[in-house]
Structure 1
Amino acid sequence: MKLQQLLSYTRKAVDEYQLIDPGDKIAVGISGGKDSLTMLYALHGLRRFYPNSFTIEAVTVDLGHPGFSTEPMANLCRELEVPYTVVPTQIAQIIFDERKESNPCSLCAKMRKGALNEAAKKLGCNKVAYAHHKDDIVETMLLSLIFEGRFHSFSPRTYLDRMDLTVIRPLMFVDEADVIGFWNKYRLPVEKSPCPVDGYTKRQYAKELVKTLSKEHPGAKERMFTAVLNGNIQGWPQRMPRIR
């Protein structure tokens, strides 16, 4: 996927779900993975021409895994001239060494998002961008159906009243396969996840399930994604016509 197509998908999400308002200062969470680095490129590129002017700040929450380096991300941010902040934490130590969590993902995500949101507030940001893409939305819907018994997925835009922050997901129309293509084409400095349970989670199960369904029933993922968009899920903003 070329940058132009990435920007088109990103603008579609921003326009249709009113993700960016004039004067927004957006904290862009970057973990070192392909999704978040692609989002950084997308929002950096969108700034050049989007009618609602906004600024971005890149933020990495360092979980404290041994061997994890933020230097490649720092170099990329310098290249893009995007301010960059690293938030050091002991989340990995707390979860794996002290608590010895057998199912660590939920607690880790909660602590990581909490650290990111606090950093965003300190930086004067009013919005935080998460790098969830189309596959994430479909997988989350399946996880909710299978393990919670409800039709649900995270919203393109969510207001956190306790933090007075708005979470946005500008990659919601981008396929994971396109993210991989963008990563390869633009040689993003991706850091391999040091998490010891990476690839052994319920989300990985949902990812494999979507692949199987799409192989056996071509177009299944797109139809599930359309079902989410049209599902009148509680908390989702109204979808608006695109700005031309």
Structure 2
Amino acid sequence: MGDDFLCDGPIMSDIPVLDTRPPAGLSPGGVAAKKLTKRIRRLTGQAIVDYDMIRDGDRVMVCLSGGKDSYTLLDTLLYLQRVAPIDFTIRAVNLDQKQPGFPEHILPNYLAELGVDYEVIERDTYSVVTEKIAPGATMCGLCSRLRRGILYRYAREQGFNRIALGHHRDDIVETMFLNMFYGGRMAAMPPKLLSDDGDNVVIRPLSYCAEKDIEKFSRLSQHPIIPCNLCGSQENLARQNVKAMLAEWETADPGRSERIFRSMTRIAPSQMADRDLFDFAGLTAD
């Protein structure tokens, strides 16, 4: 699963060991690895330009969960910061929600070695969620609201005007189908949106990147992954079902997920059925 909205690490205390070996057929410094890195950087840069995500002088807060997506996002933005024709600042921010078993040393050690500006915010939202939510019920709604409130407030107080999240193309497509199947509406994750409090612009620079590329890049980079097991809640199970469906489609028809995403950028309101987007009532023959 990709980094959920402002997701910040596992809730389950039983943290499995992930395979961090280089992908088969790819070796660090090899031609294929260089092509992969170049593709991720190019697509990220293109998304930033297409949606005007980052401007000169922006202060970007990168939400880092310890998953493959947010590590890749941070690495790629740090590279673009060095080569872009504009100046912008970056701070990596992690929210330690005090989940039992959370390996709190991993991110500080990694970020300090990387030499990047960072901060770990410590808030015991885990106890709040487990106290208020009945056993077996989904924790996602309350947990997400608490995370958003804390991180939005931090961004506002620290003067950050961009909040960067690690969602990728597959996350966006999955979310569209989740909303269709379980919410009865067509909506996904926009590459750029105004935050709930109206004070920040939320950006998703990896919107054009495929999850399979991000996974390979992260393994090549040997990122110290903190698995995001969360709570096995209904929302995550539903997302896994949609992910499995899309994977089956992709196997039968390679490139289908990319075409679905592309269709989201080429909507024809007159060919849909939303009366708020198109004036069907005013449509008459001359």
| CA contact 1:32–1:70 (8 Å) conserved in 2 | no
Classify 1:215/1:83 alpha carbon distance in 2 versus 1 (closer, same or farther; 3 Å).
same
Q: Deviations over 1:66-104 (max 9, x none)?
A: 121232222222233211111112222222244236011
| CA contact 1:65–1:194 (8 Å) conserved in 2 | no
Please state if 1:141 is matched with 2:176.
yes
Counterparts of 2:51 and 2:171, CA distance in 1: 17
Q: Deviations over 1:115-134 (max 9, x none)?
A: 22112122221110011000
> 1:224-235 counterparts in 2 under 5 A?
224-231=260-267
Counterparts of 2:168 and 2:50, CA distance in 1: 15
For residue 187 of structure 2, the aligned residue among 152, 162, 168 is 152
Counterparts of 2:145 and 2:239, CA distance in 1: 16
For residue 31 of structure 1, the aligned residue among 62, 65, 79 is 65
TM (normalized to structure 2)?
Answer: 0.76
For residue 72 of structure 1, the aligned residue among 106, 112, 119 is 106
Q: Which residue of 1 aligns with 2:247?
A: 211
Aligned to 1:47, the other structure's residue is in SS state helix
Moved more, 196-205 or 134-143: 196-205
- How far residue 200 of structure 1 moved from its aligned partner, in angstroms, is 4.7
**Mind listing any 5+ residue stretches in structure 2 that lack a counterpart?**
1-32, 275-286
Which structure 1 residue ranges, 4+ long, deviate > 6 Å from structure 2? Answer: none
Classify 1:74/1:148 alpha carbon distance in 2 versus 1 (closer, same or farther; 3 Å).
same
Tell me the amino acid that sits aligned with residue 29 of structure 1: C
| CA contact 2:139–2:231 (8 Å) conserved in 1 | no
Q: Which residue of 1 aligns with 2:93?
A: 59
Counterparts of 1:232 and 1:43, CA distance in 2: 33
| CA contact 1:141–1:228 (8 Å) conserved in 2 | no
Q: Deviations over 1:41-78 (max 9, x none)?
A: 01111100111210001100112111212322222222
Q: Deviations over 1:20-59 (max 9, x none)?
A: 0110001100011111111110111110011121000110
Please state if 1:127 is matched with 2:162.
yes
Moved more, 121-130 or 89-98: 89-98
- How far residue 213 of structure 1 moved from its aligned partner, in angstroms, is 1.8
Counterparts of 1:224 and 1:218, CA distance in 2: 12
Counterparts of 2:228 and 2:183, CA distance in 1: 28
Classify 1:215/1:50 alpha carbon distance in 2 versus 1 (closer, same or farther; 3 Å).
same
- How far residue 163 of structure 1 moved from its aligned partner, in angstroms, is 4.1
Classify 1:158/1:193 alpha carbon distance in 2 versus 1 (closer, same or farther; 3 Å).
same
Counterparts of 1:42 and 1:120, CA distance in 2: 21
Q: Which residue of 1 aligns with 2:21?
A: none
Classify 1:117/1:232 alpha carbon distance in 2 versus 1 (closer, same or farther; 3 Å).
farther
| CA contact 1:68–1:194 (8 Å) conserved in 2 | no
Tell me the amino acid that sits aligned with residue 166 of structure 1: V
Counterparts of 1:71 and 1:131, CA distance in 2: 21
For residue 13 of structure 1, the aligned residue among 37, 41, 47 is 47
Q: Which residue of 2 aligns with 1:95?
A: 129
Q: CA RMSD in A?
A: 2.1
Tell me the amino acid that sits aligned with residue 72 of structure 2: T
- How far residue 142 of structure 1 moved from its aligned partner, in angstroms, is 0.5
Moved more, 47-56 or 68-77: 68-77
Please state if 1:202 is matched with 2:220.
no
**% identity of equivalent residues:** 32
Please state if 1:42 is matched with 2:81.
no
Counterparts of 2:73 and 2:99, CA distance in 1: 23
**Mind listing any 5+ residue stretches in structure 1 that lack a counterpart?**
235-244
Aligned to 1:196, the other structure's residue is in SS state coil
Q: Deviations over 1:148-198 (max 9, x none)?
A: 222211211112263410000000011110111011101001112252327
Please state if 1:166 is matched with 2:201.
yes
Moved more, 200-209 or 32-41: 200-209
Quick check: which has more Rg, 1 or 2?
2
Please state if 1:223 is matched with 2:259.
yes
Counterparts of 1:162 and 1:109, CA distance in 2: 14
